[in-house]
Amino acid sequence: MNEKYIVLKLSYTFNEMEQLVFPVVLLGTDDIVLVDCGYPGSLNQLEEQLRYHDVEPSILTKIVLTHQDDDHIGAAAEMKEKYPKIQIFASHIEEPYLSGKAKNLRLQQAEEMQKLLPEDQKAWGEQFCDRFRSLQPLKIDGKLYSGDVFDWGGGCEIIETPGHTPGHISIRSLNNEFLITGDAGVLEGNQLIIANPEYSLNIGDAKKSLEKILSYNSDRYICYHGGILKE
């Protein structure tokens, strides 16, 4: 086991195509932290992956959510229900959307786009909206701010990387050993690019956030979509 972090791999099949995502476990003195947790229904996969890496799920202390999209937060409610001692942390900006105090921004975007879809795509669009409508509100136990420092992963800090969503966060190792990008950057063709730029809620901020994470010149960029880029 890496003494600082573990990269998990979850697999999904949509329209006969495989999609992989890569949550991360950060190890600290008092905490074992899962960063993002897959689509709804991922509990079994998560448990299998954790045990494969010799981490018993019941010893997780926290889940950190980088932002409000369903492929990042979907299994949080399942984890909390089965392991109620787990605390859920997220950006102070994302908290209202995760807790149900405010309507999920991705759902708002999808509902607006639904009005513009051609008739033969409306059924797909409605299914996408229903995915977000069915998400369970989450009680956020701790709010994260840019510059917050923890001993997770040998020492790390929270960095704000808005654009994909307004409260998106990434996590940077203080010694630049790794940077967990969330959706501020995805790995494609051996380079970091903006995740689904056409769906970024603020493309200008998304570009600045990508430039920001690249400026750290981290040894490894751990991308939720795409895996690990080694510099």
pLDDT average, residue stretch 97-110: 97
pLDDT average, residue stretch 145-165: 98
Condensed to tens digits (0 to 9), the pLDDT of residues 184-203 reads: 999 998 999 999 999 999 99
Position 103 pLDDT exceeds 60? yes
pTM: 0.95
Name the residue type at position 188: E
Show me where the domains of the chain are located. 5-230
Position 1 pLDDT exceeds 70? no
pLDDT average, residue stretch 26-35: 97
Position 2 pLDDT exceeds 70? no
Instruction: Write down the pLDDT at residue 34.
Output: 98
Q: Report the CATH fold assignment for 5-230.
A: Metallo-beta-lactamase; Chain A (3.60.15)
Q: Encoding tokens for residue 14?
A: 């949509």
